[in-house]
Amino acid sequence: MTILSIAPSSDRHSFGSAAILRNLSVPMLIEHALHRGEGRLAANGALACDTGDRTGRSPNDKFLEDSAGIHDNIDWGKVNQPMTPAHFDALEKLVMATLSRRESLYRFDGYAGADPDYRLKVSVFTEEAWHSVFAKTLFINADATDLAKWSQDWTIIDAGSLRLDEYKKYGATGPVCIAQSLEKRTVLIVGTRYAGEIKKSIFYAMNYDLPDMRVFPMHCSCNVDRADSSNVALFFGLSGTGKTTLSADPNRDLVGDDEHGWSEKGIFNLEGGCYAKCIKLSREGEPEIWDAIRFGSVLENTVIDPTTRIPDYDSSAKTENTRVTYPVSFIKHARQPSVAGHPKNVIFLTADAFGVLPPISKLTPEQAMYYFLNGYTSKLAGTEAGVTEPQPNFSACFGGPFMPRPPMRYAEMLRDRIAAHTSDVWLLNTGWTGGPYGVGARFKLKYTRAFVTAILNGSLRNVPCVKHPIFGLLMPTAVDGVPSEVLDPRNTWKDKAAYDVKARDLATRFRTNDAKFAMTAEVRAAGPNATA
φ/ψ of 377, rounded to 5, equals -165, -160
**Amino acid identity at 430:** T
- Rounded to an integer, what is the distance from CA 339 to the centroid of its chain? 18
Which of 85, 94, 124 has its CA nearest to residue 106?
Answer: 124
Angle at which helix 365-374 crosses helix 496-514, to 10 degrees, equals 80
**Amino acid identity at 143:** D
Question: Could you list the active site residues?
Answer: 57, 200, 219, 239, 243-244, 258, 323
Burial level of 204, CB count in 10 A (0-12/13-18/19+)?
buried
C-alpha distances in angstroms, 88 versus 10, 93, 327?
22, 9, 33
DSSP for 71-125 reads GGGS-BTTTBEEE-HHHHHHHHHHHHHHHHTSSEEEEEEEEE-SSTTT-EEEEEE
The whole-angstrom separation of Cα 173 and Cα 171 is 7
Check the CA dihedral 136-192-318-388 and report its sign. negative
CB–CB of 126/139 below 8 Å? no
Which of 186, 165, 189 has its CA nearest to residue 177?
Answer: 189
Could you report how far apart the first and last alpha carbons of the chain are, in Å? Answer: 70
Which of 353, 120, 124, 334 has its CA nearest to residue 221?
Answer: 334
Which of 41, 198, 184 has its CA nearest to residue 106?
Answer: 198
**Strand partners of residue 82:** 64
How many residues are given for the chain?
532
CB–CB of 105/99 below 8 Å? yes
Other CB atoms within 10 A of residue 169 CB: 12
Say whether 456 sits in a helix, a strand or coil: helix
C-alpha distances in angstroms, 530 versus 470, 471, 472, 497, 507?
6, 8, 11, 14, 5
